[in-house]
Amino acid sequence: MKTKPYAVIGLGRFGTSIAKRLFEAGQEVLGIDIDETKAEDAELFLSHTVVADATDERALTSVGILNFDCVIVAIGNNMQSSILTVMILKDLGVKKIIAKALGKHHGQVLDKIGANLIIYPERDMGERVANQLLSPNMLNY
Ligand code: ATP
């Protein structure tokens, strides 16, 4: 598989699991978090991590964010930071932005400001579990 550089902003459970999986699959992954402990924890399984506030345009520029083919914004609970980060990435010219939304309104705003793909982790996982339960191959629960 061709290697692509990815940046994952926000190393909570969601961001960490994406970053880890991409890295295990041989991709180049930079993890970014405002929280030093989160960045340090991720150093155990990622080659590069940076402590930075993604709502600070200069911080994103200084990590060379434009060198990444795809940037994943995995900040959820702090909606303001999530939206501001996507806006800055868009303004800087990042080509592919994937962002996590906590709910419908959050997702609508992310869509309006130009996120290319919006993920609703709880909703998507709920649908996946239901589909698995409905699958004829699933053991009866
Ligand atoms: P998860 O559900 O993925 O575990 P969480 O509950 O830890 O997430 P979130 O608010 O979604 O909380 O934050 C995810 C990560 O994003 C956290 O590790 C947090 O430190 C980081 N984060 C929040 N704001 C910023 C920011 N401005 N810049 C960089 N990282 C940020």
Check if 99 has its Cβ closer than 6 Å to any atom of ligand 1. no
Residue 14, phi then psi, degrees to nearest 5: -65, -55
Predicted local confidence at residue 137, as pLDDT: 72
Confirm or reject: Cβ of 81 under 6 Å from ligand 1: yes
In short, whether 101's Cβ falls inside 6 Å of ligand 1 is: no
Q: Quick check: CB of 31 below 6 Å from ligand 1?
A: no
- Residue by residue, pLDDT tens for the chain (141 residues) are 667 799 999 999 999 999 999 999 999 999 999 999 999 999 998 989 999 999 999 999 999 999 998 999 999 889 999 999 999 999 999 999 999 999 999 999 999 999 999 999 999 999 999 999 998 776 655
Q: Is 9 in the pocket of ligand 1 (CB under 6 A)?
A: yes
Centroid of ligand 1 to alpha carbon of 134 (angstroms)? 33
Per residue, the 3-state secondary structure of 47-83, as one string, reads CEEEECCCCCHHHHHHCCHHHCCEEEECCCCCHHHHH
Q: List Cα–Cα distances, 88 to 53, 93, 126, 135, in angstroms.
A: 12, 9, 31, 42
Residue to mutate, 78, 82, 122, ligand 1, most ligand atoms under 8 Å from C-beta: 78
Q: How many angstroms does the Cα of residue 3 sit away from the middle of ligand 1?
A: 26
Q: What pLDDT does 141 receive? A: 54
